[in-house]
Structure 1
Amino acid sequence: MMKIVLKNGSVKEYSEAKSVYEIAKDISEGLARVACAGLVNGEVVDLRYVVDKDCELSILTFEDEDGKKAFRHTTAHILAQAVKRLFPETKLAIGPAIDDGFYYDFDKEGSFSAEEIAKLEEEMKKIVKEELPIERFELPREEALALMREAKEDYKVELINDLPEDAVLSFYKQGEFVDLCAGPHLMNTKTVKAFKLTLVAGAYWRGNEKNKMLTRIYGTAFTKKSDLDAHIEKIEEAKKRDHNKLGRELELFTTVDVIGQGLPLLMPKGAKVIQLLQRFVEDEEEKRGYLLTKTPFMAKSDLYKISGHWDHYRDGMFILGDEARDEDVLALRPMTCPFQFMIYNSSQKSYRDLPLRYAETSTLFRNESSGEMHGLIRVRQFTISEGHLIVTPDQLEEEFKGVVDLINFMMTTLGIENDISYRFSKWDPENKEKYIDNPEAWEATQIKMKKILDNLGIDYKEAVGEAAFYGPKLDIQFKNVHGKEDTIITVQIDFALADRFNMTYVDKDGEKKRPIIIHRTSIGCYERTLAMLIEKYAGAFPTWLAPVQVKILPISEKYHDYTDKVKKLLQSRGVRVEADYRAEKIGYKIREARMERVPYLLVVGEKEEQNNEIAVRSRKNGDEGPVALDAFVERIVKEIETKEK
């Protein structure tokens, strides 16, 4: 008898092999109706997967993350089938499920218009109503290639050719539609009833800008229309908060084609927010014992050859000069660590000198592919709160703890401590060319880092293959308004570069030893942090960070002198203030200032001038009425000093 241990601990016994779907049906008809996939001994499998030996089995529904993916992956196939019906010359690329939905990439003459997207949705509804059974089958390599060549699906042919010789080549069929796919999928198209196509965008084939630009259709799907409606409402709200849109509307940044992609221009208001963040970070780091450095924006290739960046990171660097013409080859720096290591090596250090904490507000350059760049999130030139701690082995855990404490202080001050998650990024021993080849050092360092993270009580996920090339790292992750996760801060333990740069310290026993290096940022990339804050606060920054903290609105020109008095008093106390002297109605001025997300609007007229008051309208409390001028000044100064959120 075959024993199947279910999620609740109960056991089912069968005398013959059964598919996951058959087992779900045996448990209950209701469970079979909502089943999306299975989990056999921890591995996600198709409902058609045949269980033929003892195992642990969970039936995955839409409530499970992997069940959602199977449901939405099926919806992606329904979209592809609709595209082939309405636009038969279109070639299929790939169509996976993603965190909040799915997408499918198509090679079509021209993009898809809004009218065509509407027609596709209608065709998808027809496919759902047809209640097409979804069948899975496998083919030998040559037969699979012949099938896709006959269908003129060039991208599928390429995918098959790139798969290992022993790879299982599986296909899914629904009606006339057949697609190369690993699955898993639902049993029938009838289950998918609440879906929406949300966006049309461009995407390079396989994410490589040297390949052809395809058309990507994004969508999402739910089991209930009410859930879909709530999600669409969330998307609309996300669009309003999108930093790429809102940042331009609020005149925080802009981009210009003749300057180049990934090279945003910070306008006065955006530059002010960055300046405030930099001053805050540099002052806090100084309090915590960091020493400020200032290093060049470029260096000879020799430096990057020592560090290993030339071998492991060259494609992401901007190279200047040509060895073939006997010129010095320089590169714009992608990071600051090699420069600070040279500062360390300028004199012999003792164990008494350690830990050494170097910090620098570093402008860096990385040759991001054009398909990856987005607003302020991913750019080619950016500024980062970079730092390196050179420590003895005994100091490693305490200094790592200090770095995490600094980061948590920054995140709490910015008000995003509840919006972040932690990822322990490890090397991938199956992909050694990405990393410095020292398996023993990798394993030892990862064990140390895991112990430190566990001692700190950090709730983290592990991610194989996301480490830096010289060591494992702790990544602080933040999701943008569209649900895409980005790394905003990293802390790395480096076992390799001290050796490459011959960094030493004289220990208590008089012997020279290698230090350990912690690479870290305290607030991350300032441009990315600005983008994150725009979206977090929908442009309505906390008062201490607002580029304009107060706007004075005189009722008429008769009160310009009093407006000047109020403005000068606020400026003398360090408050960033503007006055609107235009001959416009006060209601219009108030509406405009609100659109600019200014924290405080001060209306002044005859009564305010006579009583040395201002009429306060705040984002938090609305119309507060008349307030004594001196009392308001003390109030806002305290709010700024305490960085109240």
Structure 2
Amino acid sequence: MADVLTINLPDGSTRELPAGSTAGDVAAAIGSRLAKAAVIAEVNGVERDLVWPLDDGDTVAIVTDTSSRGLYTIRHSTAHVLAQAVLDLFPGATFAIGPPVENGFYYDFELPDGGTFTPDDLERIEARMREIIAEHQPFIRDEITEDDALELFKDHKYKVEIIKGAAEDPMSATETGLVRTYENPPRFIDLCRGPHVPDTGRLGHFKLMRVAGAYWRGDEKNPMLQRIYGTAWPSKKELAAHLQHLEEAEKRDHRKLAVELDLLSFPEELGGGLAVWHPKGAAVRKLMEDYSRDRHEQGGYQYVYSPHLAKSVLWETSGHLDFYADGMYPPMEMDNGSYYPKPMNCPFHMLIFSSDQRSYRELPMRLFELGTVYRYERSGTLHGLMRIRGFTQDDSHIFCTPDQVVDEVSRALEFVLSVLRAFGFHDFEANLSTRPEEKWVGTDEKWEMATDALRTALEREQLPYEIDEGGGAFYGPKIDVKVRDAIGRKWQLSTIQADFNLPERFGLEYVGPDNQRHEPVVLHRALFGSVERFFGVLLEHFAGAFPAWLAPVQVRVLPVRDDHDTYAHRLVDRLKAEGFRADFVDASEPLGGRIRRAKLEKLPYVLVVGDDDVEHGTVGVNPRGGEVERGVTCDDFIHRLSVDVMAHL
């Protein structure tokens, strides 16, 4: 064995280290700052612990805590500390899986006798975790036989199930056929693929957030486990920033705001995932839908309607009963067959196209519908308007010839971004998902043509995008448009999707200029995604303070005393005649209380009228977030309001 190892670095340079050096030694040789930030390493392209021994000629890249992969490792390692703490504090408890997730990690546990964690328990667990971190326990990797693993984890039934292969755990897979474990001696060992930080002392900037129920393997037929969620970051500053961000997000939670602003509710009598819209929420929804209808008509779309259910033969033709049955509600048996509530609008639009012989002169044909669909979502996945069982999609299907695809995709993307800007979003990015490696339909030529069209549209709009290789559906590539909201969160909203499946299944054809029959290209385009979810995103984006054009009540008029009522009513009538949404609250309560209530309702404008206003035809303007003005003429205020309302166009 050579006394010196030559190690290759990512920049093409080399380092010479003594024989027996580890990946961590490479970081130390480069510099103390890198060694301090190092979390794991890539050795010859494979992620390894920093204690991994090196061979001569290895290529080593250091992964630091500032990278997404380094942060993933910190959260993964912190999840192990959480599991150790719980098993220490709760004798008889067992554990299942605990992966990193976006912004944090979780671990699933089962307590003896069906017990549940309390908020006080989380504090105790956090304290124990900090003790474990202070002990600088090493993470020691090992690979053992299945028999040894079964003996080691015999008291933990979920681990035994994983070892036997009855459940998949991506954290325990190995390349050798053995079972990989990581141990924090002397008390804790877990199934895990790794890699991990060198020792628990590398951790510490974390907080346990909440407890939730979670079915083992996500199956309602399996036991309900206790899931503890936590967050972990490389530094105290980043943890504090995240917690502050969560506080702001909680204030903006659409479920909370919907109740406070009397917009909608989820009555238990309806069942999970179903909402009723109150007058104020319905007013905002109507404005959203009316704007969408107007823009689609201006954009060359034709409005269509389809029923809420259809016979099973339609869903057999479309393939939904083969591929999507788990997401559909069960059938209603009638005298002439089985009827299913529709999970999608697409098949109906295929029927509209195929209802007549089509000519190339009719293409592109752009169909648009605000169609309500019904999908069975597991109760544990429901989340206000963001994950719901009955919702309305703004579905468009564009039927075009192959040589029209590039222009139609570009046109659709331009349309999507224009409408999203009107609703107050200006920070966009996208994913371009390409053909999956295994199961797909269509031809190489079709996939190449459609993918190039989507890419061209993104580049025409100068929209930043990432390519999701192999991430497309089996029936075609797609663009997913994401927006960033007022506090920096990303929301995936709009989709443009090529489809090579439904045209073939429904036998769609048009007659080309050569008098021959051709199959059209179909583009799915959802702009809002769903009206309900888009409403929820808007509500959180604006923190309930809708812009003037969307606000359910734009102006509230408050008389100072009862003898100002007549003037106040005339003002409300004039505002309504001008097309504005205005209301009136009489002087039966003190003025200050009425103003405060209007502010809590987040109204764009509050007008106060008193003696001087009655005499001179003026108003006092109290704008949301602005300075109070006195003696503003009614004409001036109405002009100002008109400008504000039209600002979104």
Q: TM-score, normalised by structure 2?
A: 0.92
Judged with a 3 Å threshold, the aligned counterparts in structure 2 of structure 1 residues 145 and 426 are, in CA distance, closer, same or farther, namely farther
Instruction: Quickly say closer, same or farther: Cα 1:289–1:54, change in 2 above 3 A.
Output: farther
Deviation at 1:465, TM superposition (A): 6.1
- The CA deviation at 1:537 is 0.8
In structure 2, distance between residues paired with 1:41 and 1:274: 55
Q: 2:28 maps to what in 1?
A: 25
| Per-residue deviation, 1:494 | 0.8
Q: Does 1:330 align with 2:339?
A: yes
- For 2:253, which of 218, 238, 242 is the aligned residue? 242
1:312, 1:469 within 8 Å by CA — same for their partners in 2?
no
Cα distance in 2 for partners of 1:416, 1:205 equals 39
Tell me which residue corresponds to 2:430.
422
Q: What is the CA-CA distance between 1:314 and the residue it aligns to?
A: 1.3
Contact 1:44/1:66 (<8 A) preserved: no
* Contact 2:208-2:229 at 8 Å conserved across structures: yes
Structure 1 residue matching 2:437: 3-state secondary structure: coil
Report whether the alignment pairs 1:114 with 2:119. Answer: yes
Distance (whole Å) between structure 2 residues aligned to residue 52 and residue 520 of structure 1? 53
Q: Which amino acid aligns with 1:96?
A: P
Provide the rounded CA distance (Å) in 2 between the counterparts of 1:604 and 1:369: 53
Kindly state the Cα deviation for residue 628 of structure 1 after the two structures are TM-superposed: 0.7
Question: Which AA in structure 1 matches 2:430?
Answer: Y
Aligned match of 1:311 in 290, 308, 322? 322
Which residue number corresponds to residue 68 of structure 1? 71
Q: Match for 2:193: what amino acid?
A: A
Give the equivalent residue in structure 1 for 2:577: 572
Q: Hey, what does 1:551 align to over in structure 2?
A: 556
Change (3 A) 1:629 1:326: closer
The aligned counterpart of 1:194 is 205
Q: Does 1:623 align with 2:632?
A: no
For the pair 1:385 / 2:391, whether they are aligned, the reply is no
Distance in 1 between residues matched to 2:494 and 2:572, nearest whole Å:
38
Partner of 1:448: 452
Q: Does 1:614 align with 2:619?
A: yes
When structure 1 is superposed on structure 2, of 82-91 and 471-480 the one drifting more is: 471-480
Give distance in 2, aligned partners of 1:375 and 1:290: 31
Q: Which residue of 2 aligns with 1:180?
A: 191
Amino acid at match of 1:119: R
1:372 to 359, 374, 381: 381
- The alpha-carbon deviation at position 41 of structure 1 amounts to 5.2
Q: One-letter code of the match for 1:394? A: D
Is the contact made by 1:543 and 1:643 (CA closer than 8 Å) also made in structure 2?
A: no
Per-residue deviation at 1:167?
4.2
Matched, 1:148 2:156: no
Shift of 1:103: 1.4
Q: Is the 8 A contact 1:593 1:601 kept in 2?
A: yes
The more displaced of 307-316 and 460-469 is: 460-469
Is 1:132 matched with 2:137? Answer: yes
CA contact (8 A) 1:363 1:382 kept: yes
Tell me the residue number matched to 1:587: 592
Which stretch shows the higher mean deviation, 226-235 or 309-318?
A: 226-235
- 1:523 aligned onto 2:528: yes
Partners of 1:17 and 1:53 within 8 A in 2:
no
Q: CA deviation at 1:377?
A: 0.3
The 5-angstrom pairing of residues 413-492 of structure 1 reads 413-418=422-427, 420-430=428-438, 432=439, 436-437=440-441, 440=444, 443-444=447-448, 447-449=451-453, 451-453=455-457, 455-456=459-460, 457-463=462-468, 466-478=471-483, 487-492=492-497
Cα deviation, residue 339, structure 1:
0.8
Aligned with residue 12 of structure 1, among 9, 15, 19: 15
Q: Counterparts of 1:167 and 1:413 in 2: how far apart (Å)?
A: 55
Count of paired positions: 635
Partner Cα distance (2:22, 2:630) in 1: 71
Equivalent residue for 1:208?
Answer: 219
Cα distance in 2 between the residues matched to 1:416 and 1:2: 54
Residue 36 of structure 2 aligns with an amino acid whose one-letter code is R
Counterpart of 2:179 in structure 1 is: 169
Structure 1 residue 583: Cα displacement:
1.3
Q: How far apart, in 1, do the equivalents of 2:121 and 2:482 lie?
A: 37
Counterpart contact for 1:384–1:521, Cα < 8 Å = yes
SS at match of 1:477: strand
Task: Measure the CA separation in 1 of the matches of 2:411 and 2:28.
Answer: 54
C-alpha separation between the residues in 1 aligned to 2:382 and 2:490? 14
Closer, same or farther in 2 for the Cα pair 1:447/1:226, shift >3 Å?
closer
- 1:231-290: CA deviation from partner (whole Å, max 9, x where unpaired): 222211111111122222211121111211010112111111111111101110111110
Does 1:635 pair with 2:628? no
Residues 439 and 278 of structure 1: is their aligned pair in 2 closer, same or farther, counting only changes over 3 Å? same
Q: CA deviation at 1:181?
A: 1.1
Whether the aligned pair in 2 keeps the contact of 1:403 and 1:522 (CA below 8 Å) is no
Q: Does 1:232 align with 2:237?
A: no
Work out whether residues 206 and 230 of structure 2, in 8 Å CA contact, stay in contact via their aligned partners in 1: yes
2:405 alignment partner in structure 1: 396
Contact residue 23 and residue 51 of structure 2 kept, 8 A: yes
Partners of 1:475 and 1:488 within 8 A in 2: yes
User: Partner of 2:472: helix, strand, or coil?
Assistant: coil
* Alignment of 1:351 onto 2:360: yes
Q: Indicate if the aligned counterparts of 1:101 and 1:220 stay in contact, CA closer than 8 A.
A: yes
> How far apart are the structure 2 equivalents of 1:194 and 1:38?
21
| Partner SS, residue 524 of structure 1 | coil
Q: Relative to structure 2, which stretch is displaced further, 305-314 or 462-471?
A: 462-471
Distance 2:405 2:561 in 1: 64
- Post-superposition offset of 1:161: 2.2
Q: Deviations over 1:551-573 (max 9, x none)?
A: 11111211111110110011011
Superposed displacement of residue 230, structure 1: 2.3
Instruction: Give the letter for the 2:319 counterpart.
Output: G
From 261, 266, 277, the counterpart of 2:272: 261
User: Tell me, what secondary structure is at the counterpart of 1:315?
Assistant: helix
Matched residue of 2:381: which SS?
coil
Q: 1:596 to 1:298 in 2, by over 3 A?
A: same
| More displaced stretch, 206-215 vs 256-265 | 206-215
SS where residue 29 of structure 2 aligns? helix
CA distance in 2, matches of 1:445, 1:144: 51
Aligned AA (1:57): V
Q: CA deviation at 1:428?
A: 3.4
Residue ranges of structure 1 left out of the alignment (5+ in a row): none
Between the aligned partners of 1:18 and 1:199, the Cα distance in structure 2 is 42
Q: Are the equivalent residues in 1 in contact too, given 2:409–2:453 (CA < 8 A)?
A: no
User: CA 1:351/1:437 → structure 2, altered by over 3 Å: closer, same or farther?
Assistant: closer
Cα shift at 1:66: 0.6
Letter in 2 for 1:459: P
Distance in 2 (CA, whole Å) between partners of 1:45 and 1:485 is 31
Task: Measure, in 1, the Cα distance between the counterparts of 2:351 and 2:81.
Answer: 58
Selected match of 1:217 from 222, 228, 232: 228
Cα offsets for 1:185-205 (capped at 9, x unmatched): 111111222221112222222
Distance 1:554 1:638 in 2: 25
Aligned partner of 1:243: which letter? H
Give 3-state SS (helix, strand or coil) of 1:220's partner.
Answer: strand
Secondary structure at the aligned position of 2:321 is classed as: helix
Counterpart for residue 82 of structure 2: 79
Three-state SS of the structure 1 residue aligned to 2:620 is: strand
- Secondary structure, aligned partner of 1:142: helix
Aligned to 1:530, the other structure's residue is in SS state helix
Partner of 1:297: 308
CA RMSD of aligned residues (A): 2.4
Q: Which sits farther off after the overlay, 519-528 or 22-31?
A: 22-31
